[in-house]
Amino acid sequence: MLWPGRSRCSWAANTGRWSKTTGRSAPRCGPGSSCRSNAATGEAATMWRKLKFYTASTLFVALLAACGYLYFFGGRRGGIARTVDAPALVREIQQLSELVTVRCVVQKVIGLKEEKVPFGAESVLLLVQANVLAGVDLAALQPNDVTVANNGPVTIRLPAAKVLHVFLDDKQTQVWDRSKTWWTPWVPLNPDLEQNARRAALEAAQATALETGLLAQARANAETTIRSFLRAMGISNTTFVAATATGR
């Protein structure tokens, strides 16, 4: 944007100088008189007339070119099929890979109890905070999932929204209680019991997130993100085909 500003200023300054020069009338030179100054003025006036002619011609040609472009192409914005290559568009969208569009934070209390043989039991109680990330895996997009209609929108059949990642926030997860039956002090603690409780917490957190309508929101956000992505590429008319959202 700086260049056009500088150009206009420079052009205005040049126009001002030339106007002062051409505003003078060139006196007639008599025989034997010195006319260097007047001759220079006449040459300057000639250069200025040529400059105005070439400038006007250039602007006229540019104006004709602009009018021709608007005449032939200005009314064809709807025909995006002539300029959009569907396979190339699929590759561009696939580069977004796993598009995470929503995150749900779930806090739960998880208890797990393990019965011992021949008798007794061991239990663990966890306070957990889990993060459930949902979105669309665009790497699964197939070439036939994108169609470009004549004089119509780009239609995209998105893969179903799904849970992409579930993980515990270790800083917000802690063992609240761990114990075993007091009458079986000889029974060793199971070192895997806490890990089993963590896995159970992940499953419970995902189920809780799905109950809140997580996948519907993930798909809506994915459509908004992809539509903005395509609009930046010059594609303003995009339609998405509904797909059934499923869990992981």
Q: Are residues 139 and 58 in the same domain?
A: no
Q: Are residues 50 and 151 in the same domain?
A: no
Instruction: Kindly state the average pLDDT of the residues 11-18.
Output: 27
Instruction: Kindly state the average pLDDT of the residues 146-157.
Output: 82
Confidence band for 212, pLDDT divided at 50, 70 and 90: very high
Q: Are residues 60 and 170 in the same domain?
A: no
Q: Are residues 62 and 129 in the same domain?
A: no
Q: Are residues 44 and 84 in the same domain?
A: no
- Residues 181, 113: contact at Cβ < 8 Å? no
CA nearest to 191, candidates 175, 202, 206, 204: 175
pLDDT for residue 108 is more than 90: yes
Instruction: Kindly state the average pLDDT of the residues 167-181.
Output: 93
Give 213-228 pLDDT, tens digit per residue: 999 999 999 999 999 8
Confidence band for 153, pLDDT divided at 50, 70 and 90: confident
Q: Classify residue 125: in a domain, yes or no.
A: yes
Q: Classify residue 224: in a domain, yes or no.
A: yes
Q: Classify residue 176: in a domain, yes or no.
A: yes
Region of poorest pLDDT, from 21-30, 51-60, 74-83, 200-209: 21-30
- Residues 115, 121: contact at Cβ < 8 Å? yes
pLDDT for residue 154 is more than 50: yes
Q: Are residues 91 and 212 in the same domain?
A: yes
Q: Classify residue 154: in a domain, yes or no.
A: yes
Mean pLDDT of the chain: 71
**Structural domain range at position 59:** 2-19+33-73
pLDDT for residue 3 is more than 80: no
CA nearest to 150, candidates 79, 83, 88: 79
In the chain, the amino acid numbered 36 is R
Give 34-92 pLDDT, tens digit per residue: 433 344 444 444 444 444 433 443 443 344 344 434 433 344 444 444 456 777 778 87
Give 84's contacts (C-beta < 8 A, 6+ positions apart).
148, 154, 235
Q: Classify residue 95: in a domain, yes or no.
A: yes
Confidence band for 176, pLDDT divided at 50, 70 and 90: very high
Q: Are residues 214 and 229 in the same domain?
A: yes
Q: Classify residue 28: in a domain, yes or no.
A: no
Let me know if 116 is exposed, middle or buried by CB neighbors in 10 A (0-12, 13-18, 19+). middle
Q: Are residues 112 and 224 in the same domain?
A: yes
Total tally of structural domains belonging to the chain: 2
Q: Are residues 112 and 220 in the same domain?
A: yes
Q: Are residues 92 and 55 in the same domain?
A: no
Q: Are residues 92 and 53 in the same domain?
A: no
Write down the pTM of the prediction.
Answer: 0.60
Residue 88 token pair: 């190339």
Q: What percent of the chain has pLDDT over 90?
A: 35
Instruction: Kindly state the average pLDDT of the residues 122-136.
Output: 95
Using a CB cutoff of 8 Å and minimum separation of 24, what contacts does 147-150 make?
A: 147/86, 148/80, 148/81, 148/84, 148/86, 148/89, 149/81, 150/79, 150/81
Q: Are residues 124 and 11 in the same domain?
A: no
Q: Classify residue 248: in a domain, yes or no.
A: no
Q: Classify residue 24: in a domain, yes or no.
A: no
